Amino acid sequence: MLTFTLRRFSLFIFTMLVLTLLSFSLSFLFPGDTVINHSGQIHATPTELVELNKVYKMDENIFSQYNAYLSHILQGDLGQSMASQSPISDEIIELLPATIELSLVALLIAMLIGIPLGFIAAIRHNKTSDNAILSFAMIGYSIPVFWLGLLAIHTFSINLGWLPSAGKISLLFEIDFVTGIQFIDILLSDSPYKWQAFSNASAHIILPACVIALAPATIFIRLSRAAMIEVLAAPYIRAARAKGLSFNQIIFRHAIRNALIKIIRHVGLQFANLVTIAMVTEVIFSWPGIGRWLIESIYQRDYTAIQSGLLVLSCFIFLVHILTDFIYAALNPLARGNNHGS
């Protein structure tokens, strides 16, 4: 486990270097002055500009420029937003939890629906229900998410009027910002309308989370189906059957556990996919998250925000990646060998 941790750690350092290098070079690629792209201070006076040039070491070589940029990031200074002139780190701290909340709920829905369906398809391999589940997976995987979101709003919000179509919570409820994750904040608050707020927030999250969850759910169907088919063909299942265990015992005691381990490995990769889908869905459902903020900053040509948004989002995705790797390695001793990450 120690070598595994060290390997992951070195990969993490390397990735962070590449990602910061990428966002550093973006400042040069975007139109406009590099130091203004770094800091976002578009209204800087000439004296301030001189000061900024000194802080970012713009007159020295490229390595010390990168060094200066890196030390700014490590101190938590991502510059100012060109559009609102407020520090980007504050905006991100406010917006990122909303995205995390939405993607986690969507991931949960996707796993709860996708994995059991995949198992059913694998157990009924090559039968009608298997084909039906696979066709559903194919269509769910192919639907453009923005179209699905619009159809969902049209059906459930406008025609049926069951669920709200936009935002995180009704504006009537006043919830103090503590962690940024709405459900935790509601539970922590001492408002007398706590439970109304809670049910209101749940009603708001259902529609966007289900829209996001559809595509990852279909991928989980395929993954869990493949994993289950592989497990059911393994010799230990045949041995269990030969011992006279009933079908339910084989599935619940032996097959599901071994198949689940194989799926956990892919959760991290799917998460990246899910966050992209969440970005588009946030725009449609006016969800106050980092995806909508990032796309709006592209409309406003807020280069500092784009650059930092990319950095933060990809760091977040990579952290989830590493976390799932660790969970997988902790659950499955076979994965700690040298053949991974090499």
Partner 1 sequence: MAREKTYLEEVFPSPFMQLWGIFRKTPVAMAGFCCFIFLILLAIFAPILSPYSPVDSNLEMILLPPAWHPDGNVSYLLGTDELGRDMLSRLMYGTSLTFGLSFIVVFFSLVIGVVIGSLSALTKGIKSSFLNHFLDVVLSIPSLLLAIIIVAILGPGISNTVWAVAIVFIPQFIHITRYAVKEEFRKDYVLASRLDGASNFRILYYSVFPNIIERLMSQATLAQSAAILDIATLGFLGLGAQIPLPEWGAILANGLERFYIAPWTVYLPGLAILFAVVATNLVGEGIRHALKLRKEN
Our CB check for partner 1 shows the closer of 200 and 314 to be 314
The H-or-E segment that residue 155 falls in is: none
Cα 222 to Cα 235: distance, rounded to the nearest angstrom: 22
Tell me how far, at minimum, the Cβ of 139 lies from partner 1, in Å: 7
Tell me how far, at minimum, the Cβ of 187 lies from partner 1, in Å: 31
- Intra-chain end-to-end CA distance of the chain, in Å: 15
Binding footprint of partner 1 on the chain (CB under 8 A) = 11, 14-15, 18-19, 26, 29-30, 138-139, 141-147, 150-151, 154, 158, 269, 272-273, 275-276, 279-280, 283, 294-295, 298-299, 303, 306, 310, 313-314, 317-318, 321
Our CB check for partner 1 shows the closer of 41 and 304 to be 304
Residue 156's nearest CA partner among 215, 210, 99 is: 210
Tell me how far, at minimum, the Cβ of 114 lies from partner 1, in Å: 17
Our CB check for partner 1 shows the closer of 173 and 318 to be 318
Cα 168 to Cα 283: distance, rounded to the nearest angstrom: 12
Residue whose pair of structure tokens reads 């990122």 in the numeric block: 96
Tell me how far, at minimum, the Cβ of 18 lies from partner 1, in Å: 5
Our CB check for partner 1 shows the closer of 105 and 305 to be 305
Find residue 64's DSSP bridge partners.
Answer: none
Tell me how far, at minimum, the Cβ of 271 lies from partner 1, in Å: 9
Our CB check for partner 1 shows the closer of 200 and 308 to be 308
Tell me how far, at minimum, the Cβ of 147 lies from partner 1, in Å: 4
Our CB check for partner 1 shows the closer of 142 and 338 to be 142
Q: Count the Cβ atoms, other than its own, within 10 Å of residue 151.
A: 12
Our CB check for partner 1 shows the closer of 131 and 170 to be 131
Residue 76 burial class via C-beta count within 10 angstroms: exposed 0-12, middle 13-18, buried 19 and up: exposed
Tell me how far, at minimum, the Cβ of 105 lies from partner 1, in Å: 19
Residue 224's nearest CA partner among 258, 249, 252 is: 258
Under DSSP, is residue 68 helix (H, G, I), strand (E, B) or coil? helix
Residue 18 burial class via C-beta count within 10 angstroms: exposed 0-12, middle 13-18, buried 19 and up: exposed
Cα 77 to Cα 94: distance, rounded to the nearest angstrom: 15
